[in-house]
Structure 1
Amino acid sequence: MKHGGNVFEIEQKYGFDRRCLLDFSANINPLGVPKLYKKMMMDAFDDLINYPDINYFDLKNDIGEKYNLSVENIFVGNGGVQVIFDFIKAINPKKSLVVYPTFGEYERAIRATGGQVEEFFLKEEEDFQLNAEEIMERIHRDLDLVVLCNPNNPTGTLTNKSLLENLLKKCRENNVFLMIDEAFMDFVEGAEEYSLLSQVETYDNLLITRSFTKFYGIPGLRLGFGVCSHPEIKGQLREHGIPWQVNTFGSYFGRVLLEDGEYEKKTHLWLKEETPRFVEELKKLALFKVYPPSVNYILLKLLPSQLDVKGLKERLLVEKILVRDCSNFKGLSDRFIRIAIKGKQDNDRLLEVLKRI
């Protein structure tokens, strides 16, 4: 398994203190853990002597209120990845269409159930935008499931809602489930213009997964949720789901969603101010083709032929800077990297090192 943010592996391999690493490989909100949540965790410390609510009543209610969802359609898990695996296990697809390049765990989850994977590749010459006509042609009754990520990881492309709604209808006509991973959707201002969360109750062939890890800076907590209205799939999830999937601290996180609107505003303000500045500075280097980001990370293609990604990554590690080598993403060559958008000081540190390179 290869993912960004594996600072423990880098510490063991290179002998660095992981706390000294400037990690651009993981797309985590640089504002860090919300202050309200830190206080809540301290207040809840003595509750660790008890099991969490096995039904996660308060957490689901708060998620439902935040996103205007019916509680009976909400499922929580130990990170968005667990929800993805649980959903796919419940569907048990024999044949699935996955849109690449994308998060590798979709394919792993499908193959874990014994399913086959058909590949649909976003094209570099189309800046990795989803081609509506071509994907519609790939939907047929032999499929059980279509999986895509919106906003997409690692390309940062955002697919508009009308295209997705047409895809959803085509899937329903062919008795195919559509699963959309919206793990980064909270970073998108006006997310309701792109998200299909509001369509879950209308279309029971739609499954949506979300993660709190990235937006709220809590990758170590592991907390995500999924939404589905299909009666049989919900029955499978309830019957075969692992009990106590979320720990005590995670079970109280719903209060942050409802009470810490200031954190959300600060995040969108930071992203709105820092993204265009950082992108323009990266372009000035003439090292990369910079793909326009829609969220908090940027896909870059290395241009100079005398420099390869492996060499660039090693030179950055000497400076204790970690970036995401994208060579293990299907559909991307060994010329691509992905970097997170961090605070101005950290971004300037990366720019300074890249200028020297």
Structure 2
Amino acid sequence: MTVFGCNDCFGCANLRKSSYCIFNKQYKKTDYEEQIKEMELNTVIGVKKAQEKVREFWKTQPNKYHQGLKNLNSTGSYVTNCKNVNDSYLIRESENMRYCQYMQMPKNKECYDTTIWGANMELHYETCLSGENSYNLKFCVNCWPACRDDEYCMDLFSSSDCFGCIGLKKKQYCILNKQYSKEEYKTLVPKIKKHMDEMPYIDSQSLVYKYGEFFPSDFSLYGYNNTIAMQHFPITEEEAKKKGYTWIEVPRGEYAITKKIFELPDSIEEVNDSILKEVIECENCKNAYRILENELIFLRNEKLPLPNLCHDCRYERRINDRLKIQLYGRSCMCAGNVDSTGIYKNTIEHFHGDKPCEEKFKTGYNLDSKEIVYCEKCYQQEVY
């Protein structure tokens, strides 16, 4: 949920320049502070109750179909200050791109099917972990900074006109890490591409990889379950192996648990420094975790209780609250004076009057989500 220019608000949604509000209800400063105190947010029980109430309240408020600001002709989730960026995810200050994700370092343009990270990159096609003034890269991984005109390369640094190379620094006109003259390079590369088309690589799933395809998943050093793909397209180990993906279970250290969750103090005021020596069992996955000194200082300053989840489970919980990379075709849920579920009542008459809004869009909210999803115009009329 979003608020704009607000401070000292709790559990609110779609407010602008507001202060001392709880669940969108205005309070005086003293009353607000008293209400917050009564919630006992310094305790585990208080936080859990508050989280449940917040989530229930948010379900009653409209969401803008698109999480992003100041875009032109763009679609995707968390796309901001972009022009002609479509079907993309977590992009900032870029233009003329499609099927790109995790590129929040501006400014980027003319990229297609590119993942991580950006910073003035241009003309990238099927690249990953590349950026920082790089130009015209194809099928490359981790090539930066100022790499140019490279294809099928990995881990290059400030290199250009390289094909099938790895780990080079400030090189030019190399093929498979062997140095060539400019003329030799220009002659050999077209022959290699032709050979790739005539004798393509065929993976374990009988997929054919000619020139123009990214590296096969067979070559990946990581298990499917250890990548961000698992966050957006979760599958089981059996499903992954059927598709030819590697699955790697990272071994965890074995630690003697000294504290169960139910043994932890309920409020942060009851916690003393001895907690730094304890090995705590995660409430969810049962793995071990510890509280670090700086973490304890933060919790005390913010008057927050000890976490009952390990670091990995806390991370997964945060990620699960975020929209995923998939987009779905949907219609605006504004039905006139109320939303189509009848839960939310509009505060102002919309441009379509008392008839249902006919706007359609692509959104990260799937068809089964419980959120109320409005188009840009209906949302703006409610919030602004």
What range describes the TM-score normalised by the shorter chain of this pair?
Answer: under 0.3
Higher relative contact order (CA 8 A, sep 6+): 1
Q: TM-score, normalised by structure 1?
A: 0.22
Q: TM-score, normalised by structure 2?
A: 0.20
Specify which structure has the higher proportion of strand.
Answer: 2
Specify which structure has the higher proportion of helix.
Answer: 1
